[in-house]
A and B are shown apart, each in its own frame.
Chain A
Amino acid sequence: MEEQQLIKALKEGNRSAYQILVENNKDMVYGLCFSYLNNFQDAEDTSQEVFIQVYRSIHNFQEKSSLKTWIYRITISKCQDFIKARNRKKRFAFLTGYQEVEERWESNAQTPQQLLENKENMELLHRAIEKLSENQKNVFILNHIQGKTNVEISELLGMPKSTVDSHIKRAKDKIRVLLKDILD
């Protein structure tokens, strides 16, 4: 289904269109939530909140950006809200996030050892990412974990490309310093 047709059907409240929207975007949303939250359960809860928000707000979508970009922005916003709420509650679920079943990881790893190394690497990196500022965290996750280009990040976050470049550079420098401390 073309995006225009999909948007029209969604605004009419068509549940089949909503299912198509979820199927097309669930892995992207879930993956992005996991990048921020480092916990499978929290990532699922938050990604569901994203789609509920999309369902309720689709009639307000003015089509100034693509549907995917709009969903991305909602996802980032929901993740940030969740992190703020989690910090307030001082939950430490992210420390146990990596004890989930391995079947939910689909990676390029060929051996269990490579899979384990990937998981350990991601855990180390996420601990460092937690310490970045909000803007640095956003751009680093989108660039390094989601594989977005600086131009795409600029459009997603609504900031100039030069600002994105600057945040990425500072984030990488800070990550290097933080990982040195963690690896010590």
Chain B
Amino acid sequence: MNKEKKIENLIKATHRAAMPKTDDFYYTRLSSKLETRNKHSLKKRVIIGAGILAINSLVLFFTFNKEKDQEHYSFDQAAEYFASAYEQHVNFGLNERK
């Protein structure tokens, strides 16, 4: 048989060459793999959720502390403002009497 004919037969033969089939335990292995994946997926979700919660907690903690500092700063600032305003008022009153 010449080479060209051999090649043609080879290409045609692929239609007849049957594909391998799965064995009887294929579904058992698939189910097991699916359950393992679902379990890992749940574990991953829990870890990611806990991580997000931890990060949120840290952000809230630092934000709260910063706001508390700002409250003090605002209070001090307000006290200084009123002291300065009072002094000006007193000086104004003194000047008016003059």
Q: Is the CB of A125 within 8 A of B27?
A: no
Say if the beta carbon of A52 comes within 8 Å of chain B.
yes
Q: Is the CB of A105 within 8 A of B14?
A: no
Binary flags per residue of B1-33, CB closer than 8 Å to A gives 1, else 0: 001101100110111111111110011011001
Binary flags per residue of A65-93, CB closer than 8 Å to B gives 1, else 0: 00000000000000000000000000000
Tally of contacts, chain A with chain B, CB under 8 A:
86
Q: Which range contains the number of A residues in contact with the other chain?
A: 35 or more
Q: Is the CB of A105 within 8 A of B7?
A: no
Q: Is the CB of A106 within 8 A of B17?
A: no
Q: Is the CB of B21 within 8 A of A104?
A: yes
CA distance A104 to B22 in the complex (A): 8
- Contacts A19-B27, A172-B11, A179-B7 hold; do A108 and B19 have CB atoms under 8 A apart? no
Say if the beta carbon of B43 comes within 8 Å of chain A.
no
B33 to chain A, nearest CB (A): 6
Binary flags per residue of A107-125, CB closer than 8 Å to B gives 1, else 0: 1100000000010011011
A-B contact pairs, 24 of them (CB 8 A): A19-B27, A22-B30, A26-B22, A26-B26, A26-B27, A27-B19, A31-B21, A34-B19, A35-B19, A44-B26, A47-B22, A52-B30, A52-B34, A104-B20, A105-B20, A106-B20, A121-B10, A121-B17, A122-B14, A122-B17, A144-B11, A144-B15, A145-B14, A175-B11
